[in-house]
Amino acid sequence: MKKKLFINGKWIEGKEYEELRSPYDQQVIAQIPLADKQEVEEAISSAHRAAKVMRELTPLERSEILEKVSDLIKERAEECAMILVSENAKPLKAARAEIARTIETYKFAAEEAKRIHGETVPVDAAKNGKGRFGFTKREPLGVIAAITPFNFPFNLTAHKLGPAFAAGNTVVLKPASQTPLSAFMTAKIFEEAGLPAGALNVITGKGRTIGDQLVTDARIKMVTFTGSVPVGLGIKEKAGLKRVTLELGSNAAVIIDSVDDLDAVAARCAEGAFNFAGQVCISVQRIYVKEELFEEFVEKMANHTKELVLGDPKSEETDISALIHPAETDRIESWIKESVEGGATIICGGKREGTVFQPTILVNVKETDSISCKEAFGPVVTVNPFKTWDEAIRLVNKSEYGLQAGVYTTNIQKAFQAVDRLEVGGVIINDIPSFRVDNMPYGGVKNSGVGKEGVKYSVEEMTEVKFVAFKL
Ligand code: NAP
């Protein structure tokens, strides 16, 4: 019940503790240490000392550790899934899916560790380069601070630890306050897999209290952050010359222009909008449907939505459970109220059932309504008709975010136009914007962030290119 900080390869009792409650039934599930300044300092200095050890491991040794981590998570997949159920109210089906992806992410990292290399540079193509040989190599940065959100606590942590260790860095991990148990489990698994002491340190506590110390310490060379825009902006302002990657929010949109099977698309949109109660950064939030298909689409999507099972995350049947915090339920409710007062119609949902909010479809929502232009991060989707293709592209782009967008069209020219014209980090043709596998480049434009994840791409962010010239 009483958890410990993981610093320099040792499990250390905290000086102060707070209760961790399960979001679904509000039961106390653990006592979590709140790291103080001295403990954060110890975590940073142990990561700093271990940087030399990690740097000297061969690519094969790093790869073997990551491979072992992947295997150990596979062995304990059900135990890991149950952690997500209790600390995150993630329905068991979705929890198992996250663990399956986490196993794969560490596997990708194990493979990537073996192919981090530089390139030769034809310096003698320049007048002054005659008689010289040039090449680059990629070196680890040193200590990386990883700050993670609550919504995919195993897999989004894997997206930081996997590439960081593949490249020979060390890490101080600060998980979200609501999801520390997955971080402790991850540390336990790395310990068993033989990661050198100090290479991974896990400190828990409020981000607003301990975050600044991590972000401003000169020994930390990079901050890799996934979370909300305000926190990300604050980190960027304070980080000085450190490298910073920010994986932030979005209000992802999908255009439905022309399709062969409207029912299958409606089912997929319901899945993308309501998976983990919409608490996914690429959750489907805005759907723009060609005018002729609009009514039929809304009816079909409502039918699929009504089939979703609400309730206890422990149940095999549950599709949607509690939002992470009761305040989030209040916020969603007030945003729906604002839209309805402005003329929107609720097609289904719109109410809470205990701690769970019903999956909700809204039509005729104004572009300026909070539920459309801000990040919903809840089980609500807006569906509006469009008349022309240009209008659809304009509506998707009229957002302060730009993570991914989906486009359903049977017209190849429109598909390529969408690729060129949509202001997002990823365009998904004939599927929803929520498509993600863990080796693809992933990261947004505009307020959705800076820098890419996806193991190979994170390795690029987490290494320094050193250039070497030999005078022959
Ligand atoms: P959040 O409130 O921004 O928290 C993220 C992390 O930042 C937590 O560990 C939090 O700690 C920490 N933090 C808070 N204040 C801090 C500070 N002043 N300095 C340093 N760290 C601080 O986000 P969340 O609610 O956990 O996650 C939801 C957000 O993440 C959504 O906006 C979602 O779109 C985004 N997200 C983006 C991606 C992506 O890949 N683009 C993926 C998943 C989620 P505490 O928990 O202790 O406050």
Taking the C-alpha atoms of residue 193 and residue 188, their distance in angstroms, rounded to an integer, is: 9
The pLDDT, as a whole number, for residue 151 is 98
281 Cα nearest atom in ligand 1:
34
Q: How far apart are CA 8 and CA 24, in angstroms?
A: 34
281, 375, 453, 461: the catalytic one is 281
Cβ of 375 less than 6 Å from ligand 1: yes
Active site residue 111: no
Orientation angle between helical segments 155-166 and 59-75, nearest 10 degrees: 160
CA of 93 to the centre of ligand 1 (A): 24
Between strands 143-147 and 220-226, the pairing is parallel
Q: What percent of the chain has pLDDT over 70?
A: 100
Q: What is the rounded average pLDDT for all residues in the chain?
A: 98
- Asked whether 227 lines ligand 1 (CB < 6 A), one says yes
Average pLDDT of the segment spanning 194-217: 98
pTM of the predicted protein model: 0.98
Q: Does the pLDDT of residue 21 top 90, yes or no?
A: yes
How far apart are the CA of 246 and the centre of ligand 1, in A?
A: 10
Q: Which of these, 213, 223, 221, lies nearest to 41 by C-alpha position?
A: 213
Q: DSSP for 414-435, please give it.
A: HHHHHHHH--SSEEEETS-TT-
Give catalytic status of residue 61 as yes or no: no
Q: Per-residue pLDDT tens for 40-85?
A: 999 999 999 999 999 999 999 999 999 999 999 999 999 999 999 9
The active-site residue out of 42, 87, 112, 247 is 247
- Selection from 15, 107, 103, 16 nearest residue 66 by Cα: 107
Give 107-144 as a DSSP string: HHHHHHGGG----EE-GGGSGGGTTEEEEEEEEE-SEE
Residue whose CA lies nearest to ligand 1 atom number 40: 247
Q: What is the pLDDT of residue 207?
A: 98
End-to-end CA distance of the chain: 64
Confidence class for position 464, pLDDT limits 50, 70, 90 = very high
Interval 27-39 mean pLDDT? 98
Whether 37 lines ligand 1, by a CB cut-off of 6 Å, is no
Ligand 1: does its nearest atom lie under 6 Å from the Cβ of 377? yes
Residue 136 has pLDDT above 90, yes or no: yes
Handedness of CA 293, 295, 298, 303 (dihedral sign): negative
| Cα-to-centroid distance, 43 and ligand 1 (Å) | 20
Ligand 1 close to Cβ of residue 118 (< 6 A): no
Q: Could you tell me the pLDDT band of residue 1, with boundaries at 50, 70 and 90? A: confident
Pairing, β 200-202 against β 463-471: unpaired
For residue 127, how many other CB atoms are within 10 A of its CB? 6
User: Cβ(172) to ligand 1 under 6 A?
Assistant: no
Query: Could you tell me if the CB of 174 is within 6 A of ligand 1?
Result: yes
CA of 240 to the centre of ligand 1 (A): 20
Q: What mean pLDDT is predicted for residues 274-284?
A: 98
Per-residue pLDDT tens over the stretch 392-449: 999 999 999 999 999 999 999 999 999 999 999 999 999 999 999 999 999 999 999 9
pLDDT band at 243 (very low <50, low <70, confident <90, very high): very high
Distance 470 CA to ligand 1 centre (A): 46
Strands 445-446 and 463-471: unpaired
324/314 Cα distance (integer angstroms):
15
pLDDT band at 175 (very low <50, low <70, confident <90, very high): very high
346 close to 328: Cβ distance less than 8 angstroms: no
From the alpha carbon of 249, which atom of ligand 1 is closest? 34
Q: What is the pLDDT of residues 344-401, one digit of tens each?
A: 999 999 999 999 999 999 999 999 999 999 999 999 999 999 999 999 999 999 999 9
